[in-house]
Amino acid sequence: MHPSVPRDEALRILDNIREKNNREILAILAEEQANEAQREAKLREVRDEAEKNRLEKIFGIERARASERIVSTSDRHEAQLREEMKRLGLM
């Protein structure tokens, strides 16, 4: 344990970090959910099969990027939390 930070204070710091990280992930998920709703609406409007196929390919790429963004953010959060736990002497 870091000598200048009592255990209860260290745990409070970690809780604050977790809350901030959870808010960030939830915001990303809400954004991506809205993006997915827009994709689905666009697909419902299109009648041409070739255009639908083109859009599906584009949307597949967008979905993959969104997934990478979520995983990357989650990985960053985990690393941040581990570093803070080390700094506070909890690991």
Q: Is the pLDDT of residue 4 over 80?
A: no
Residue with tokens 């597949």: 60
Report the alpha-carbon distance of residue 13 to residue 19 in Å, rounded.
10
Instruction: Give per-residue pLDDT as tens, 39-72.
Output: 999 999 999 999 999 999 999 999 999 999 999 9
Residue 34's Cβ-side half-sphere holds a number of Cα atoms within 13 Å equal to 5
Q: pLDDT tens, 7-26?
A: 999 999 999 999 999 999 99
Rounded Cα gap, residues 71 and 33, in angstroms: 16
Distances in whole angstroms, Cα of residue 19 to Cα of each of 47, 50, 55, 57, 89: 44, 45, 36, 36, 20
